[in-house]
């Protein structure tokens, strides 16, 4: 036991690693698990575990050897910019549904700005997996 501890101390700190891709990934495409690799550099807002990226979508172009930052990926897009979406307003027992136009893209559970087509006002709501936007 003592020998292992001494060897670990002599080896020094383990090389820090961040997750990267083995081939370029274009913005807006899902990140395939088979393309994930490790970069020898570590960044504070990067990923250390490739399992955290499986099922995520690239928000920007990702390049081999560059550590992936958390702001560069997100949940898969369920609402695209300029798409017509259902706006759902709920207060107490009353639910009002209206049509709106998405002003930005969003994944499930993300905030999204939408223009209400009836009133021409801009509201912010939460995107759902079905493509509707819940406004509180």
Query: Does any domain span residue 9?
Result: no
> What domain range includes position 95?
77-135
Query: What confidence tens digit (pLDDT) does each residue in 41-62 have?
Result: 878 888 988 899 988 999 999 9
Q: Are residues 60 and 94 in the same domain?
A: no
92: region left, alpha or beta (phi > 0 left; psi from -120 to 50 alpha)? left
Residue closest to 57 by CA, chosen among 87, 88, 27, 17: 27
Specify if 101 maps to a domain: yes
Residue 7 maps to a domain: no
Same-domain pairing of 52 and 21: yes
| Whether pLDDT at 71 is above 50 | yes
CA pair distance 107, 72, nearest whole angstrom: 13
Phi, psi of 74, rounded to the nearest 5 degrees: -165, 180
Question: Hey, how many other C-beta atoms are within 10 angstroms of the C-beta on 92?
Answer: 5
| d(C-alpha 27, C-alpha 80), whole Å | 13
Distance between CA 51 and CA 64 in Å, rounded?
A: 18
Q: 24 and 59: one domain?
A: yes
For the chain, the domain total comes to 2
User: What is the domain-level CATH number for residue 50?
Assistant: 3.90.1210.10
Q: Are residues 18 and 70 in the same domain?
A: yes
Enter the tokens of residue 75. 């949940």
pLDDT at res. 11: 41
pTM over 0.75: no
């Amino acid at each position: 036991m003592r020998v292992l501890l001494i060897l670990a101390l002599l080896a020094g700190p383990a090389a820090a690693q961040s997750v990267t891709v083995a081939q370029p990934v274009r913005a807006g495409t899902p990140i395939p698990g088979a393309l994930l690799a490790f970069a020898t550099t570590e960044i504070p807002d990067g990923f250390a575990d490739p399992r955290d990226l499986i099922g995520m979508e690239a928000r920007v172009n990702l390049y081999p050897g560059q550590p992936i930052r958390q702001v560069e990926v997100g949940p898969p897009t369920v609402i695209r910019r300029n798409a017509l979406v259902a706006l759902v307003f709920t207060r107490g027992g009353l639910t009002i549904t209206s049509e709106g136009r998405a002003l930005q893209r969003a994944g499930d559970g993300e905030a999204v700005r939408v223009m209400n087509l009836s009133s021409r006002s801009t509201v912010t709501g939460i995107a759902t997996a079905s493509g509707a936007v819940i406004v509180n």
